[in-house]
């Protein structure tokens, strides 16, 4: 039993190592990209929304970056999950390891990238002269919730994409819609009426993003957000992983 | 109760065949056919109530025409695909050695692939690191290539890499699909010797091959498959003789 667990750890390790190598295969800047892309993206939105349509958010760049990094973890993981199985067809057909590790290792790769960016967030706080509060302690909880929320969606999409390759085509558009439905470059207070209700209560990412900003942007302690966040995380994980379990025996045959 | 390394009981396995009507267009233009396709998907039954036992330490050869289920059987033993009904019980660690390079990642180097492949087949990483140099020795892949991504490899080199990992990690059960014919004669000679050594140590081997002399040389018993069933089984000599007698496709 103990030996089996150790081997699973080893398998995750080699898969994560491989994902890292493949991700930066023949790029000059390597890991820097996972930092640069969200920053550059934020600068674009900053330029647009600071000149064309102002939202009147103080420390706007910090506000946007704190949301953008979180979003990039999510969208990166979702995009990668689609290729988990088709991209490993030869491995799946010829080796009998636990298939869930392929998705898990991708998720872990994305998470590690995300964690490496956290020190940058603290640096930015320093630049903006924001004093971290006790809410820093909520970070592991929010990360855990957000991770399971993302993982559930990734497991579902990775599995479904094996059987309906149509998903690959539509997911980019859906992600874009989701991006605009999330308080990344605007504030929930900018929204009114039904739209506000929709973004606040129908998009779980808003909840995690608010929690995240309560650490880096506007340090306040908010138990309610943490408690609410558990629900979508659990639901997503149970449904997503359930779909995977239901179909995992058939994945290799479809390759 | 005899000591079986592989015990297959009442195995059923069928595959969903390619659908003729797909997508919205197919649905609109051929609605009756489309509905029939979806409600009763055409399947091909590869195995029906198939049973097979391989005693530990034996080398079983599998012969048969293309499409008779040889590779599917290996995949089922290797747990890569699951049976619809029935059981496949195996004892110990299984290693698969399949034609055209067992699951490798093209962009990684030979060295990295050895570790990846071994660990995914259930070897501890520490052990793989220890074995690494030995495996490279066995594969005879030179220094400039072993650190190059394996998309630069020839098919012979891939086969050698697969062989090296499979044989050096000392599995309890080794599944071989039509690989020993790859590689030059010198390497084939080496494979033969190494497999013989493992046979002596009691490794259970299942060997799929179209090569008569190979089957005769290695196997302790031989089966001939046709349409997902064992048509003939017995000692290699007797099965070979019967195949010749009946002029069966080999």
**Most A-contacting residue of B83, B117, B122, B171 (CB-CB within 10 A), to test interface:** B122
Q: Assess if residue B39 is contained within a domain.
A: no
Per-residue HEC secondary structure of chain B comes to CCCEEEEEEEEEEEEECCCCCCHHHHHHHCHHHHHHHHHCCCEEEEEEEEEEEEECCCEEEEEECCCCCHHHHHHHHCCCCCCCEEEEEECCCEEEEECCCCCCCCCCEHHHHHHHHHHHCCCCHHHHHHHHHHHHHHHCCCHHHHCCEHHHCCHHHHHHHHHHHHHHCCCCEEEEECCCCCCCHHHHHHHHHHHHHHHHCCCEEEEECCCHHHHHHHCCEEEEEECCEEEEEECHHHHHHHHHHHCCCC
Q: Do residues B176 and B72 both lie within one domain? A: yes
Model confidence over B32-80: pLDDT tens digits?
Answer: 777 776 667 678 888 999 999 999 999 999 999 988 888 899 999 999 8
Residue at a domain's end among B124, B147, B170: B170
CB atoms within 10 A of CB B109: 17
Identify whether the C-beta of residue B92 lies closer than 8 Å to the C-beta of residue B172. Answer: yes
**Most B-contacting residue of A3, A84, A95 (CB-CB within 10 A), to test interface:** A95
Model confidence over B120-173: pLDDT tens digits?
Answer: 999 999 999 999 999 999 888 888 899 999 889 888 888 888 888 988 999 999
Residues from chain A that touch B123, judged by Cβ atoms under 8 A, are 7
Q: How many A×B Cβ pairs under 8 Å?
A: 74
CATH of the domain at B239: 3.40.50.300
Expressed as residue numbers, the domain containing B142 is 103-170
Q: Assess if residue B11 is contained within a domain.
A: yes
pLDDT at A99: 93
How far from the centroid of its chain's Cα atoms is residue A6's Cα? 27
Q: Assess if residue B47 is contained within a domain.
A: no
Q: Do residues B183 and B163 both lie within one domain? A: no
Q: Give percent of chain B with pLDDT exceeding 90.
A: 47
Q: Where are the domains of chain A?
A: 2-254
pLDDT at B2: 65
Tokens 């050594």 belong to B197
Q: Assess if residue B230 is contained within a domain.
A: yes
Give chain A's mean pLDDT.
Answer: 91
Chain B residues at the A interface, defined by Cβ less than 8 Å, are 15, 75, 78-82, 94, 96, 98, 101-105, 107-108, 112, 115-117, 119-125
Q: Assess if residue B45 is contained within a domain.
A: no
Q: Do residues B111 and B215 both lie within one domain? A: no
What pairs with residue B64 in β-bridges?
Answer: B225
For A171, the token pair is 């997911």
Identify whether the C-beta of residue A195 lies closer than 8 Å to the C-beta of residue A181. Answer: no
Give chain B's mean pLDDT.
Answer: 86
Q: Give percent of chain A with pLDDT exceeding 90.
A: 61
Model confidence over A191-215: pLDDT tens digits?
Answer: 888 888 888 889 999 999 999 999 9
pLDDT at A93: 85
Q: Do residues B146 and B223 both lie within one domain? A: no
Instruction: Give the side-chain half-sphere CA count within 13 A for A65.
Output: 23
For B236, the token pair is 């290699």
Identify whether the C-beta of residue B47 lies closer than 8 Å to the C-beta of residue B38. Answer: no
Mean pLDDT for A218-242 is: 94
How far from the centroid of its chain's Cα atoms is residue A101's Cα? 18
Taking an 8 Å cut-off on Cβ atoms, the answer to whether A97 and B79 are in contact is no
* Shortest alpha-carbon distance between residue A22 and chain B (Å): 7
Contacting residues for B139 by C-beta, under 8 A, at least 6 apart: B110, B157, B160, B161, B163, B164
pLDDT at A161: 94
Mean pLDDT for A232-250 is: 96
Q: Do residues B74 and B163 both lie within one domain? A: no
Q: How far apart are CA B199 and CA B213, in angstroms?
A: 17
Could you tell me which of A233, A61, A210 has the C-alpha nearest to residue A135? A210
Which is more confidently placed, B203 or B16? B203
Identify whether the C-beta of residue A141 lies closer than 8 Å to the C-beta of residue A54. Answer: no
Model confidence over A100-150: pLDDT tens digits?
Answer: 999 999 999 999 999 999 999 999 999 999 999 999 999 999 999 999 999
pLDDT at B98: 72
Q: Do residues B1 and B73 both lie within one domain? A: yes
* Shortest alpha-carbon distance between residue B137 and chain A (Å): 22
Nearest to A97 among B15, B120, B124 (CB): B120
For A41, the token pair is 């993206």
Strand-pair category, B43-55 with B4-16 = antiparallel
Give phi and psi for B57, each to the nearest 5. Answer: 90, -5
For the cut 80, the answer to whether the pLDDT of residue B100 exceeds it is no
Does any CB of chain B come closer than 8 Å to the CB of residue A22? yes
For the cut 60, the answer to whether the pLDDT of residue B21 exceeds it is no
pLDDT at B23: 66
Note which residues in 166-195 of chain A have CB less than 8 A from chain B.
Answer: none
Strand-pair category, B204-208 with B173-177 = parallel
Q: Do residues B79 and B184 both lie within one domain? A: yes
* Shortest alpha-carbon distance between residue B128 and chain A (Å): 11
> How many domains are there within chain B?
2
Q: Do residues B220 and B202 both lie within one domain? A: yes
Taking an 8 Å cut-off on Cβ atoms, the answer to whether B96 and A6 are in contact is no
Q: Do residues B178 and B231 both lie within one domain? A: yes
Residue A168 CB-density burial (10 A; 0-12 exposed, 13-18 middle, 19+ buried): middle
Q: Assess if residue B32 is contained within a domain.
A: no
- Compute CA distances A71 → A224, B3, B73, B138, whole Å: 21, 56, 45, 48
Model confidence over A172-186: pLDDT tens digits?
Answer: 999 999 999 999 999
Note which residues in 79-108 of chain A have CB less than 8 A from chain B.
Answer: 88, 90-97
Residue at a domain's end among B148, B170, B192: B170
For A163, the token pair is 């059987």
Q: Do residues B79 and B195 both lie within one domain? A: yes
Taking an 8 Å cut-off on Cβ atoms, the answer to whether B120 and A92 are in contact is no
Q: Assess if residue B36 is contained within a domain.
A: no
Model confidence over A8-37: pLDDT tens digits?
Answer: 999 999 999 998 888 777 677 777 888 888
Could you tell me which of B229, B228, B250, B232 has the C-alpha nearest to residue B242? B232
Q: Assess if residue B28 is contained within a domain.
A: no
Structural element, H or E, at residue A255: none
Residue at a domain's end among B150, B170, B190: B170
Structural element, H or E, at residue A1: none
pLDDT at A106: 94
Q: Do residues B8 and B116 both lie within one domain? A: no
Output the CA torsion A153→A154→A155→A158 (10° steps). Answer: 120
């Amino acid at each position: 039993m103990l030996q089996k667990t150790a081997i699973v750890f080893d398998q995750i390790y080699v898969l994560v190592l491989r994902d890292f190598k493949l991700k930066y295969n023949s790029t000059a800047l390597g890991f820097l990209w996972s930092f640069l892309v969200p920053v550059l993206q934020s600068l674009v939105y900053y330029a647009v929304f600071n000149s064309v349509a102002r939202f009147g958010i103080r420390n706007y760049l910090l506000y946007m970056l704190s949301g953008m990094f979180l979003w990039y973890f999510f969208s990166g993981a979702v995009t990668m999950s689609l290729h988990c199985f088709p991209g490993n067809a030869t491995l799946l057909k010829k080796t009998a390891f636990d298939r869930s590790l392929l998705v898990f290792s991708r998720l872990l790769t994305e998470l590690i990238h995300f964690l490496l960016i956290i020190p940058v967030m603290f640096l930015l706080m320093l630049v903006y002269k924001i004093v971290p509060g006790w809410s820093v302690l909520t970070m592991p909880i929010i990360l855990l919730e957000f991770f399971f929320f993302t993982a559930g969606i990734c497991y579902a999409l990775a599995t479904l994409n094996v059987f309906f390759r149509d998903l690959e085509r539509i997911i980019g558009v859906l992600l874009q819609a989701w991006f605009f439905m999330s308080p990344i470059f605007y504030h929930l207070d900018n929204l009114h009426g039904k739209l506000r209700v929709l973004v606040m209560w129908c998009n779980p990412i808003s909840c995690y993003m608010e929690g995240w900003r309560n650490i880096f942007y506007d340090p306040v302690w908010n138990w309610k957000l943490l408690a609410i966040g558990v629900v979508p995380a659990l639901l997503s994980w149970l449904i997503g992983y359930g779909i995977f379990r239901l179909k995992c025996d058939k994945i290799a045959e479809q390759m | 109760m005899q000591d079986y390394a592989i015990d297959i009981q009442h195995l059923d396995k069928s595959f969903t065949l390619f659908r003729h009507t797909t997508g919205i267009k197919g649905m609109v233009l051929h609605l009756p056919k489309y509905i029939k396709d979806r409600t009763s998907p055409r399947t091909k039954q590869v195995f029906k109530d198939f049973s097979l036992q391989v005693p530990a330490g034996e080398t079983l050869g599998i012969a048969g025409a293309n499409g008779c289920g040889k590779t599917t059987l290996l995949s089922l033993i290797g747990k890569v695909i699951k049976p619809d009904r029935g059981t496949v019980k195996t004892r110990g660690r299984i290693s698969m050695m399949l034609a055209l390079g067992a699951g490798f990642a093209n962009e990684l180097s030979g060295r990295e692939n050895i570790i990846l492949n071994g660990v995914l087949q259930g070897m501890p990483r520490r052990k793989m690191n220890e074995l690494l140099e030995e495996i490279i020795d066995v594969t005879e892949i030179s220094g400039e290539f072993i650190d190059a991504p394996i998309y630069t490899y020839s098919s012979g080199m891939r086969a050698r890499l697969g062989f090296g990992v499979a044989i050096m990690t000392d599995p309890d059960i080794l599944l071989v699909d039509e690989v020993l014919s790859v590689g030059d004669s010198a390497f084939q000679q080496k494979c033969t010797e190494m497999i013989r050594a493992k046979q002596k140590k009691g490794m259970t081997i299942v060997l799929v091959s179209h090569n008569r002399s190979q089957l005769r040389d290695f196997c302790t018993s031989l089966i001939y498959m046709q349409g997902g069933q064992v048509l003939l089984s017995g000692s290699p000599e007797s099965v070979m003789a019967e195949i010749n007698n009946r002029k069966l496709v080999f």
